Structure 1
Amino acid sequence: MNADEGGDTADDGDSGEFPAPCPDPETVGDLLTRDRRTSGPALRVDASGRTYSYRDFVTTTYKAGNVLRYLGVREGETVLVVPDALPEPVLTFFGAAQLGAVTRFSDTVDDSDPPRAVVAPADREAEFNLPPGHHLAVYGDRPSDPATTHWETEVWSENPAIHPASVDGGDTLIAAGDRRYTHAEALSAAASVISDAELRSGNEMAVRGSLADPDVVVAGLLAPIAAGATVVFPDECDSKS
């Protein structure tokens, strides 16, 4: 699955408090409840030196989801996310999941079925020409087109409110090629990863494959967050995956 379990975090002073594993979640939103906002790291990107505690991670997913709502994303609609090994794509994925939106990790838009929103690095802004009513958000640098949303500006200014969306386990979470994976299917697969890897709260899971692969999303993102572990993009992971 291209995601490898690390060891227990050795230094409790650095690691902080981790949330308990999330038992039997029905939707991805169940992994992001307010009581899981602890001081231990949820996400670490070694190449950029950026780390999000569970407190910051959960809160920022709320904000990311609210920005997507501002961009017109609603339940069942698709958000295309460029699969960089960086915090913004990960946070966008978890924000979209809480809206009942579908994430497609991809570098290209299908013109016959354009996503409601695209989230991409700023240096690729010119590659995406979306029809009216569809929106582009970029991160990293500020956009050159005033019609493009600057991810950081909007996310950090958003209110961290829980989304007023009704999401069911049978709703689609991930689209990859012609395949679609529901919340229930993805979380069941994540539970198998947790069991097989004996993944525990405070462990680390290194992500080495592309987020365009649903197996990597399940094993590298969903499983560690469900377990109360840390998602790690190691130094050797290419951020332009």
Structure 2
Amino acid sequence: MSDFSLVGDLLARERRSDRPALYAAELDRTYSYFDLCNTAYKAGNVLSHVGVREGDRVVVDPDPHPQPIFTFLGAALLGAVSEFDADPGRECDARAVVVPVEREGAFDLPGGSKLVAFGGDPDRPDTTHWEEEVWSENPAFPPTFHDPGDAVLRGRQQVGDDPRAYSHADLLAAARDAEDAVGIDADSRVAVRAPLSDARTVAAGVLAPLLAGGTIALPAEDAPLEATAAVVAGDGPVPETRVLNVADVPL
């Protein structure tokens, strides 16, 4: 499939393979396209079980871990609207809030909202354990029929900005531009060195490599990372020679 109109199209069953799709430096772990697609299906099913439906808001911690990436992709399959936000507020009213387990105590969500924790066992019985539920979930997802103009992500371009909504079509168009701008292809490994709270990072650092059949690379402070390109914010030095600043991503 080369004509992608929805974020979920990047997870089509025929795209599953042993090729690398995601590398997490902190874990020194590579996830294949088979792993990525299946785990996104599972994450979408778990979100559905906790009440997420088409058009609902899902807040996801923006730290560069695999679980937030899988959650965003799973939410896109459902037609939900993700927002990468490190501080959504203790009483955030999103349908689901997905955070590292060490942040569990920072939330007291209202009725109708569900807290999901990853990275360890939660303390509270009403908190959903991301890994436990995802790994035991069915690795299948029914075909999705959303409108490309529907919102799939809310994000900010600057600190202090109000978040705005971006559609499937918006993100995929920006991803194609990023793919062309730095020559991303199936052999590329793209380091995500800009915040996921910026929709331009998601388009260029997450969706562009998936469009090309390449690899998303999630850096960690103390772990080595080899990448062929990087998506950055600002002018700080990075080890990659091919660099795309989010300011140059048309979104």
Q: Counterpart of 2:150 in structure 1: which amino acid?
A: D
After the TM superposition, which residues 1-20 of structure 1 pair with which residues of structure 2 at under 5 Å, given as runs?
none
Match of 2:235 in 1: none
Q: Alpha carbon RMSD of aligned pairs, Å?
A: 1.7
What is the aligned partner in structure 2 of residue 34 from structure 1? 13
- Corresponding letter in the other structure for 2:124: D
Corresponding residue SS for 1:200: coil
Unaligned stretches of 5+ in structure 1? 1-21
CA distance in 2, matches of 1:90, 1:77: 18
| 1:189 and 2:174 correspond | yes
1:200 to 185, 209, 215: 185
Retained in 2: the 8 A contact 1:103–1:175? Answer: yes
Q: Which residue of 2 aligns with 1:227?
A: 212
Q: Does 1:57 align with 2:36?
A: yes
Please give the residue correspondences for 1:204-223 in structure 2 after superposition, counting only pairs within 5 Å.
Answer: 204-223=189-208
Q: 1:139 aligns with which of 118, 135, 147?
A: 118
Equivalent residue, structure 2, for 1:173: 152
CA distance in 1, matches of 2:9, 2:163: 27
**Deviation of the 1:196 alpha carbon:** 1.3
Q: Which residue of 2 aligns with 1:159?
A: 138
Q: Could you give the per-residue CA deviations for residues 27-66 of structure 1, whole angstroms, max 9, x where no partner exists?
A: 0111100111110110001122121111011000000000
Call closer, same or farther: CA 1:236–1:187 in 2, change over 3 Å: same
C-alpha distance in 2 between matches for 1:174 and 1:97: 8
How far does residue 109 in structure 1 lie from its aligned partner after superposition? 2.3
Q: 1:13 maps to what in 2?
A: none
Q: 2:76 aligns with which of 84, 91, 97?
A: 97
Give 1:128 shift.
1.3
**Equivalent residue in structure 2 for 1:107, among 64, 77, 86:** 86
Amino acid of the structure 2 residue aligned with 1:167: H
Asked if the contact 1:109/1:128 (under 8 Å) is kept, the reply is no
Q: Which amino acid aligns with 1:151?
A: W
> 1:88 and 1:163 mapped to 2: Cα distance?
21
Q: Distance in 1 between matches of 2:102 and 2:217?
A: 24
- The superposition leaves residues 157-183 of structure 1 with CA deviations (integer Å, 9 ceiling, x where unpaired) of 100121464311011011123311000
Residue 192 of structure 1 aligns to which amino acid in structure 2? D
Alignment length, in residue pairs?
Answer: 217
> Which of these residues, 48, 67, 79, is aligned with residue 69 of structure 1?
48
Q: Which runs of 5+ in 2 are unaligned?
A: 156-161, 224-251
8 Å CA contact 1:44, 1:52 repeated in 2: yes
CA distance in 1, matches of 2:143, 2:213: 25
3-state SS of paired residue (1:211): coil
**In the alignment, what sits opposite 1:6?**
none
SS in structure 2 at match of 1:181: strand
State the Cα distance separating 1:23 from its structure 2 match.
2.2
SS at the partner of 1:180? strand
Between the aligned partners of 1:128 and 1:110, the Cα distance in structure 2 is 7
| 8 Å CA contact retained: 1:207, 1:237 | no
Q: Which structure is richer in relative contact order (CA contacts within 8 A, separation 6 or more)?
A: 1
CA contact (8 A) 1:99 1:166 kept: no
Q: Which moved more, 1:189-198 or 1:147-156?
A: 189-198
Contact 1:137–1:151 at 8 Å: present in 2 too?
yes
Which amino acid in the other structure matches residue 216 of structure 1? Answer: T
Structure 1: which 4+ aligned runs deviate by more than 6 Å? Answer: none
